[in-house]
Copies of this chain bind each other. A is one copy, B any other.
Amino acid sequence: MSTEGGIVMRTSTVFTARYAETDQMGIVHHSNYPIWFEAGRTDFLKKAGVSNTSIEAKGVLLPLYEMNCRFISPAKYEDEIVVETRIKTLSCVRISFSYQVFNASNNKPIATGETLHAWTDKTLKPLNAEKKIPEVYSALYKEFKNINGGNVL
């Protein structure tokens, strides 16, 4: 049931780099990229019809167990930032997202990354998303199947 490599859909989330996000190198500090990825992920889930707030309201959390970032070109204060988000892998126990960060004005790549999450209950104990929140799981899975032509790995 894992869908390694499957593309469900791709969302673009746009916002402005904040002054507080800069550091004394004059660029956006690297610790903000996980937050930007998260803004992309929030938007992705909302557009997929299964907002993270609604998932949490059903008692399900998505804590990270791994995160990777590659920094290509620094973002600067007031840059218009685009985060492109897609599901990278999906299974009933785990989900991962990948992100591409661009400068909106010139499409220059800024960073890429992945976050790997477990489906858990409120006490952070793993659960089976397909059983616990089938409507969420099938919304994500169906989207994937439609686009990926059923070529589920």
Contact = CB atoms under 8 A, between A and B. Distances in A.
Chain A at the B interface: SS class: mixed
A42 interface: yes
A66 B64 CA distance: 18
A131 B31 CA distance: 30
Interface residues of A, number: 42
A41 to B, nearest CB: 8
B71 A63 contact: yes
A126 interface: no
Contacts of A29: 19-20
B30 A18 contact: no
B51 A78 contact: yes
Interface stretch (A32-40, A90-98, A132-140, A143-151): A32-40
